[in-house]
Structure 1
């Protein structure tokens, strides 16, 4: 049994009878202080809470039943599990955002097996992406679906990292403009080119695909340049959607982000992914399944549930006792926010926890917040 030490002087304590309630009384052999050892079951309760949150178990099946379980674990909803600072660089990092409402998104960075970082923000923008990426060591290659502001954040935060745009998302972007059943010959050919992008596996095939895109663009250039006049007299492109679809592909080709996974200087260390399926299926799908299993949570609890899942699947999560000791809570973050001056509240951020304006709106004095959904 672990020795009991004095909380005042640190000396060894010995048993000294019992209290009227039947508990063992301890007395310090050095200073004479007397105390009663109190068992802290918080860590055990936190493990039980996570055992429910991260599985499909019902609260009624947990120890104590539904109502008792909720009462004993309610305090754990106040904790914000924060991402670690990842200083060991990965070869490939996948980034994506999971939207939990119209104005709430959690940006996530992961490798093949772990969640490396996460950040709460209102929308995908360069500032939010930079806050996420600044806590993760720059990888050799980053795979993304082309979220707003990501390119700007990449140039600023990871300037030496190569970017691979997910080819499936590039195809989907074209499909949104052409539909899967184009009505024009030009649209059908461009849709076929976008589908062929998914089958490119060598540099020769990639060069052939680029040449095919250039040939398509030259062949249909006059068709795409046709204009139409609306009833109010405004002149616009007659095939604007096709023009946007072509522009989305040409932009990726010019940026060199479409065939990074075929770069000879990179693949000599092993094959590289062309899609971000790893984070879509390994992280986002798991998060959505968890939220479906516990549907009915408020927006704040959904956010914290995502944070908990990411933390438990981070490289080296702390045990329950360590989490309770070091992780911030609603109260501690509010205290930090209160110390910010008015300008910092409006324009600044608390990078470790998310945008400062998000925190102020999420924790509002009004009892009901509907604008996050």
Structure 2
């Protein structure tokens, strides 16, 4: 045990019996001051909280069915673990969003090994994507699944970054319209072309694939123009097949299918063609965590995702550093009252939106939470 020093004169103190509550009393031999020591176990309790959150343990299996645990760790649900921009430039970034509710999504950026940043929003709008991307230096290539609003945000935040559309998602989008067992010959041929996307290894093969796809579009063009009348309304007979064609045609025209084969980019090494690094390495882990601790409120689910993302960054702080630097609900309320011009409810609280925490606490520079 470290030597106990007198808070008045700094001299060494000695044990001097115990208080009526059983606490050790200390007395200074120099000035005669008497005191007791109290130890701050907040960091230890945070470690206990995070160990539970990232495990499969249930509170029901704890002593007292977790009542003591909930009391000891309740305050940590008020903490918001936020990303800390490092300024490091990555060659490749994977981006995706995990939906936690009908109008709540957490957008995540991952470099294949560590979580880089995350951002909460109501939907995958261009403004939300841009808020995620703005603090991060532009990578050479970004791999995405084609979420709504992403391309517009990329043109603003990362105009020189090349896009690689996840080929598995491109195939799944075609399969969604054709099914895995198309009844029509045109559907069978298009399904086969989409399936072949994941097996192209060279630019020559990619060019040959594009040529065959364009031939398919030309051969079946008249067939896809057939119309029918349903309840007196005119509609295309093969509407689903047309949607499958449109999904591939957009990717071909934008040139995002075969970025991973570009010789100028592959000179430094191979590039990924799918979003598997974030789908399996992040989203699947998050879903497992939320399933293991199902029953949490929406906000606790959000904070659980934030905690997991922070713990899987490249250099997370220790427990004491987290408690000293991360904002709490009170910090957010103060920022809202100080800066927000959005309409408030009758009780003074914020309306549901994505302009309180998600803008004030996402800055390009290391964030601060004090006011001048």
TM tier relative to shorter chain: 0.7 to 0.9
**1:14 equivalent in alignment to 2:12:** yes
Q: Within 5 Å, which residues of 2 pair with 1:248-327?
A: 248-327=247-326
C-alpha distance 222-62 of structure 1, shift in aligned 2 (>3 A):
same
Q: Within 5 Å, which residues of 2 pair with 1:26-175?
A: 36-61=36-61, 66-175=66-175
Q: CA deviation at 1:346?
A: 7.3
CA distance in 1, matches of 2:60, 2:102: 32
CA distance in 1, matches of 2:70, 2:114: 29
Q: CA deviation at 1:4?
A: 6.2
C-alpha distance 209-328 of structure 1, shift in aligned 2 (>3 A):
same
Q: In the alignment, is the contact (CA less than 8 A) between 1:14 and 1:28 conserved in 2?
A: yes
Unmatched tracts of structure 2, length 5 or more? 344-349, 361-372
Q: CA deviation at 1:228?
A: 2.1
TM-score when scaled to structure 2?
0.87
Q: In the alignment, is the contact (CA less than 8 A) between 2:19 and 2:25 conserved in 1?
A: no
Q: In the alignment, is the contact (CA less than 8 A) between 2:25 and 2:34 conserved in 1?
A: no
TM-score when scaled to structure 1?
0.87
Name whichever of 285-294 and 12-21 sits farther off. Answer: 12-21
CA distance in 2, matches of 1:63, 1:45: 16
C-alpha distance 29-270 of structure 1, shift in aligned 2 (>3 A):
farther
**1:354 equivalent in alignment to 2:347:** no
CA distance in 2, matches of 1:27, 1:108: 55
SS at match of 1:342: coil
Q: CA deviation at 1:96?
A: 0.5
Name the counterpart of 2:347: none
Q: In the alignment, is the contact (CA less than 8 A) between 2:122 and 2:353 conserved in 1?
A: no
Q: Deviations over 1:71-96 (max 9, x none)?
A: 11111111111111131111111000
Q: Deviations over 1:116-156 (max 9, x none)?
A: 11111111111111111112221111100000000011111
Name the counterpart of 1:334: 333
SS at match of 1:84: coil
Q: CA deviation at 1:331?
A: 1.5
C-alpha distance 193-38 of structure 1, shift in aligned 2 (>3 A):
same
Q: In the alignment, is the contact (CA less than 8 A) between 2:6 and 2:13 conserved in 1?
A: no
Size of the alignment, in residue pairs?
A: 351
Q: Deviations over 1:248-281 (max 9, x none)?
A: 1111111111000000011111111100001000
